[in-house]
A and B are shown apart, each in its own frame.
Chain A
């Protein structure tokens, strides 16, 4: 953001006070927009930002591919005999892990944005209060969809064959997006609560690493010690990974889907209001 590229004000056209006056005369205001409309508008803003800064797609493309290649070939031979057997088991899990990990960037972008004056403007608008936050998450849903698609394509190339077919895969990704949307309210909370981008990042890491690794993403939990099993078997990530794995394999794991949606609802109900409280008080 160097100012060296700034256009000099010398070349600036003058302000036309007459046309300005004509514009100001119109005092009628459109009706208050719906909460859906304002949320979608904020979602559009997130997409515009991707358009202007496409580099930010790096973490939803390169990072998941790296994860997939790394874990498939690192563990595949040892855990399942061969990488091509392992990928049948591990791809839905790595998909879940990568997307859930990517959600933490939401907190960082909220934190960066909130420091800028534009947030004061958003907060002084007569609109449904959570729409700015919901808009972030809608824009992020697009990023998660891109990440999922990229990983699936690479997975298919490596030999992944989902028995659930197209429908199973789409429903699985749908569930993953719903969970990520709800889970992200933890990050919006941290984004508003913590002072610097760096602290948001390090707190997020502290949460996300144990949560994603201590799950059934890589291995069956049965070989883990009892105390760890107790944690892993009840972790929302385990439920999500099992549900997505089942759906993509052509099953209908109702229990796991139920648990996943239950956790999603809990995250939304707890961290949504906390986020909004911080947003209003900021």
Chain B
């Protein structure tokens, strides 16, 4: 039952869901290519979870259509369920049962015999580094362990499509990295992953295409590169020797680059956002700026060229930030 790597894993048109007066999902169009990690990025309450629940057949859409591998999520719900698996925002395993019991339970429900369910469970626990905790009730697991058993339960039968709804919310950076490794391993074997997240760096790390949603609507969609390019070529960060020279530097940059210049909280620092000028690259613009500053007699201590981050994309698209504390560009470690 291997799905062809071409084609779409998910296709929705005008998908909508209303709760009372709130239009939680307000006409979402998605096209998720099979075999990739697709990021759905948005702040809390943007409609991410509701969208995932509709795609996983847990909620019935009020409007629009959604197909998963060509199957309608309402009319052919069982066909969809046979191909997808879901790791929800909160532990989707039974906290009163042990790790082993949870996996055997699901293995049996998926049609494995007792012995096969036991074996597969033991192998998964081993691969996820949970063998020592196998006989412990899940309620005694740490956050990182819960996530692991949760994802293990989701890939008991290798799904064609895996929904990960905010898989790293509340995890420490180390556990988050481990979840990322798991996601990469899963997608490397041909499973399509739909990842929702409010962490921009998570989408940046994992997803090949990203839909940004806000207030139930897709407000931007594309590859990471496309999304970043849509907000400009990047930015130049400068640190000056002397805080007194900052107003002069700001004037120079504004005139030379026709760029928006932002004064940082640090009195010697400033950032110029470069426009997507076709005439010159970001590096070229930066070089001209440095030359001009030197001629004006302004001493630049430190300089860096930043790619636009998804934070900026988000800010530019929604007019508000994603509700987290990464106020700055993620500089050069971000690769488009």
Contact = CB atoms under 8 A, between A and B. Distances in A.
A117 B158 contact: no
Contacts of A33: 108-111
Given A44-B105, A126-B81, A9 B174 contact: yes
Contact of A15 (B84, B105, B128): B128
Interface string B202-226: 0000000000000000000000000
B181 A52 contact: no
Contacts of B185: 17, 20-21, 24
Given A41-B108, A281-B60, A15 B182 contact: yes
- 4 smallest beta-carbon distances between A and B, as pairs: A13-B129, A30-B111, A24-B189, A9-B144
A187 to B, nearest CB: 20
B110 A30 contact: yes
B1 interface: yes
Nearest to A11: B132
B66 to A, nearest CB: 14
Contacts of B130: 13
A228 interface: no
Given A124-B85, A126-B78, A16 B145 contact: no
B86 interface: yes
Contact of B58 (A6, A31, A123): A123
Interface string A21-34: 10111111111110
B178 interface: yes
B121 to A, nearest CB: 11
29 contacts: A1-B139, A7-B133, A7-B145, A13-B129, A15-B129, A15-B182, A16-B129, A17-B185, A19-B126, A20-B128, A20-B186, A21-B188, A27-B158, A28-B1, A30-B113, A32-B111, A37-B108, A38-B108, A48-B101, A49-B96, A116-B95, A117-B89, A117-B93, A123-B58, A124-B84, A124-B85, A125-B81, A126-B82, A127-B109
Interface string B135-152: 011011111110010000
B182 A120 contact: no
B182 A17 contact: yes
A19 B123 contact: yes
A271 B167 CA distance: 37
Using C-beta atoms within 8 Å of the partner chain, give the interface range for chain B.
35 or more
Given A32-B111, A33-B110, A117 B91 contact: yes
Contacts of B136: 7
A13 B143 CA distance: 14
A89 B2 CA distance: 66
A20 B182 contact: yes
A236 B157 CA distance: 46
Given A32-B111, A33-B110, A24 B158 contact: yes
Contacts of B266: none
Using C-beta atoms within 8 Å of the partner chain, give the interface range for chain A.
35 or more
A110 to B, nearest CB: 14
A258 B174 CA distance: 64
Contacts of B195: none
A124 B58 contact: yes
Interface in A90-137: 116-118, 120-127
B123 A121 contact: no
Interface in B76-99: 78, 81-82, 84-86, 88-97
Given A9-B142, A26-B158, A27-B158, A118 B101 contact: no
B192 to A, nearest CB: 13
A116 B144 CA distance: 18
Nearest to A38: B109
Contacts of B153: 121
Contacts of A118: 91-95
B56 interface: yes
A52 B78 CA distance: 32
Contact of B140 (A5, A32, A125): A5
Given A13-B129, A38-B109, A23 B2 contact: no
A210 interface: no
B178 A24 contact: no
Contact of B94 (A7, A9, A32, A45): A45
Contacts of A52: 96-97, 137
Contacts of A124: 56-58, 81, 84-86
Which of B1, B97, B190 gathers the greatest number of chain A CB atoms within 10 Å? B97
Which of A1, A12, A41 gathers the greatest number of chain B CB atoms within 10 Å? A12
A53 interface: yes
Contacts of A28: 1
Contacts of B96: 48-49, 52-53
Nearest to A17: B185
Contacts of B78: 126
A121 B86 contact: yes
